[in-house]
Amino acid sequence: MAKEYTSTPNEVAFLAALDAALKAAKKSPSYEVTRMANGALSVRSRRAYLGKVKLQGRKTWMQYMTGTYTSQTAEDAPLEEYIRLLKYWVKIA
């Protein structure tokens, strides 16, 4: 049976930071979030795939695109570091 996930304060804060970053960059604050089986959030805008972030459990990580077909992953960083890396998501949103 699949594990049930509920939103954590870190996820809420992360998505609020994404909203603020998109508005500050004058980009559409419209995006879609999908919960994956491992608890990670997959995020895409109307224009592009933005990345994935896992903020639940012992291991946390964030994937972000650094080029058209290249991505980087930050692991086990504090929430503030993942929020700082949102600049990569905003750039392609």
21 in any annotated domain = yes
The pLDDT of residue 78: 97
pLDDT of residue 68: 83
| Integer angstrom CA distances of residue 7 from 13, 43, 67 | 10, 15, 29
How many folded domains does the chain comprise?
A: 1
Dihedral sign computed on CA atoms, order 11, 81, 22, 92: negative
Beta bridge partners of 44: 32, 49
Domain with 20 in it: 9-92
Residues 6+ apart with CB under 8 A from 4: none
Residue 4 domain flag: no
Q: Average pLDDT for consecutive 10-residue bins of the chain (93 residues)?
A: 85 98 96 96 94 96 92 97 97 93
48 lies in some domain: yes
Q: Is residue 3 part of a domain?
A: no
At 40 the pLDDT is 97
Residue 2 covered by a domain: no
Contact predicate 35/5, CB 8 Å: yes
Please report whether residue 29 resides in a domain. yes
